[in-house]
C-alpha cells in the first residue's frame, strides 16, 4: 500500500512534469487532439533571404499563412495573410509572425543577422597634414581690377607667398582658374578670365615654379564665388583661383 501510493505519487509528479515541460516548450508540432468538428488550425511560415546582411543593406522577408484571419509580425504590425516586404534593420532581428484564426493561432519566426559594415580603413598611422591641407592653408588667390588682367601691386605679396610655398612643395600640381565679375558679355569675360589665369601662371613661373605643374582654365563669369550685384561681390569674383590638383 505504501509502495503503491509512492508509485502514484511518482506518476503524478512525472505527469505534471511532462505537462509542465510540454506547456513550456514551443508547439513544434500541434498536439493532435481529436476534436473532429473544430475548424482547421492555421499554418504559418516565414523566411528571410538572404538571412545575413551588412548594415545598410536590405533583405526580403516572405511569409505564408493559411486558415488565418489575423496575421501580424512583431515590429511591423498587421500584414496580409501572404506577402513579402523589404527590410533593412540596423541590428540583427528576429521576425516573429503570429497567425490567428478560428482554429487557434500559429507562430513562426525568421532571424536576420546584421553585421556591421566594415569600418573605414584606419587613417594613416600618424595624423599627418596632407599636401592638400597645406595647399589650402597657405595658398592665396590673386585679385584683379575691373577689366584688367595685370597683377595689382597689392597682390604681389600673395603671389610671392604662393611661389615660396610651391617651390618648397615641388610635388604639388595645381590649376589656376580665371574668374570675372558678372558685368559684360559671356564671351569677352571668358577671354578676360583666360588672360587672368595666364597672368598668374606667368608670375609664378617667373618666380621659379615649373610651368609643367600648372594648368589654367577660364571660367569667365560662369562660376561666380558671390552672386550679388555690388562692388564687394564683384571684387570677390575677379580673381585667379588656385586649386590643388589631386
Partner 1 sequence: MDESARPIFRRGSLSLRGPVWVLLLAAVFYLLSSPSAVFAQDWVKTGTSLGVEKVRLAVPDFKPATNDPQTASLLNTFNNTLWNDLDVSGVVELVSKSFYPLQVPGQPPEVNFLAWNAPPPNAAMLAFGNLGVAAGKLTVQGWLYDVKNTQSPEVLGKQYGDAASDAAARLMAHKFADEIIFRLGGGIPGIAETQIYFVSDRSGHKEIWAMDYDGSNQRQLTHLGSIALAPRVSPDGSRVAFSGLTKSGWEIMMYSLDLNRTVGFPHMGGTNLSPAWSADGLKLAFSSSRAGTPEIYVSDASGGNLNRMTAAKGPDVSPVWNRKTNAQIAFVSGRTGLPQIYTMGADGTNLLRMTDQGYAVSPNWAPNGQFLTFAWERKYGPGDPGALDIYLMDIASKQFVQLTHDGGRNDSPSWSPDGRHIVFQSSRSGKEEIWTMLADGTKVQQLTFTGHNTQPNWSWK
For residue 240 the three cell numbers come to 585667379
**Cα(157)–Cα(198) distance, integer angstroms:** 18
Is residue 184 close enough to count as binding partner 1 by CB under 8 A?
yes
Binding segment for partner 1 among 13-21, 25-33, 127-135, 192-200 (CB under 8 A)? 192-200
| Shortest reach from residue 218's CB to partner 1, in Å | 5
* Maximum distance among all Cα pairs of the chain, rounded to whole angstroms: 123
The footprint of partner 1 on this chain (CB under 8 A) covers a number of residues equal to 19
Residue 9: C-alpha distances to residues 6, 16, 18, 22, 168 (Å): 5, 11, 14, 20, 96
Among 79, 134, 190, 233, binds partner 1 (CB under 8 A): 190
CB of 170 or CB of 185, closer to partner 1: 185
Is residue 198 close enough to count as binding partner 1 by CB under 8 A?
yes
Is residue 188 close enough to count as binding partner 1 by CB under 8 A?
yes
| Shortest reach from residue 233's CB to partner 1, in Å | 13
Among 163, 195, 233, 243, binds partner 1 (CB under 8 A): 195
Q: Is 56 left (phi over 0), alpha (psi -120 to 50) or beta?
A: left
3-class secondary structure, 62: strand
Binding mask 123-162 for partner 1 (x = CB under 8 A): ------------------------x-x-------------
Listed in sequence order, the residues at least 6 apart from 125 whose beta carbon sits closer than 8 Å to its beta carbon are none
Among 58, 186, 206, 210, binds partner 1 (CB under 8 A): 186
Between residue 225 and residue 244, which ones bind partner 1 under the rule CB under 8 A?
229
Q: How far is CA 165 from the centre of its chain?
A: 36
**Cα(172)–Cα(170) distance, integer angstroms:** 6
Q: Is 216 left (phi over 0), alpha (psi -120 to 50) or beta?
A: beta
| Shortest reach from residue 211's CB to partner 1, in Å | 12
Residues in contact with partner 1 by CB under 8 A are 147, 149, 183-188, 190-195, 198, 217-218, 222, 229
Amino acid at each position: 500500500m505504501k509502495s503503491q501510493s509512492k508509485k502514484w505519487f511518482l506518476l503524478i509528479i512525472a505527469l505534471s512534469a511532462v505537462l509542465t515541460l510540454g506547456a513550456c516548450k514551443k508547439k513544434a508540432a500541434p498536439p493532435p487532439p481529436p476534436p473532429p468538428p473544430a475548424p482547421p488550425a492555421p499554418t504559418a511560415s516565414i523566411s528571410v533571404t538572404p538571412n545575413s546582411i551588412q548594415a545598410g543593406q536590405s533583405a526580403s522577408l516572405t511569409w505564408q499563412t493559411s486558415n488565418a484571419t489575423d496575421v501580424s509580425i512583431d515590429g511591423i504590425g498587421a500584414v496580409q495573410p501572404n506577402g513579402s516586404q523589404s527590410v533593412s534593420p540596423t541590428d540583427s532581428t528576429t521576425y516573429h509572425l503570429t497567425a490567428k484564426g478560428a482554429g487557434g493561432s500559429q507562430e513562426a519566426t525568421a532571424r536576420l543577422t546584421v553585421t556591421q559594415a566594415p569600418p573605414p580603413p584606419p587613417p594613416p598611422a600618424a595624423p599627418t597634414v596632407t599636401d592638400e591641407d597645406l595647399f589650402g592653408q597657405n595658398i592665396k588667390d590673386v585679385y584683379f581690377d575691373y577689366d584688367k588682367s595685370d597683377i595689382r601691386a597689392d597682390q604681389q605679396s600673395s603671389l610671392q607667398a604662393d611661389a615660396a610655398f610651391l617651390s618648397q612643395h615641388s610635388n604639388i600640381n595645381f590649376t589656376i582658374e580665371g574668374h570675372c565679375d558678372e558685368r559684360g558679355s559671356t564671351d569677352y569675360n571668358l577671354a578676360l578670365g583666360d588672360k587672368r589665369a595666364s597672368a598668374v601662371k606667368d608670375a609664378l613661373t617667373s618666380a621659379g615654379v615649373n610651368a609643367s605643374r600648372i594648368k589654367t582654365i577660364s571660367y569667365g563669369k560662369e562660376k561666380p564665388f558671390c552672386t550679388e550685384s555690388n562692388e564687394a561681390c564683384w571684387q570677390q569674383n575677379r580673381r585667379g583661383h588656385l586649386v590643388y590638383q589631386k
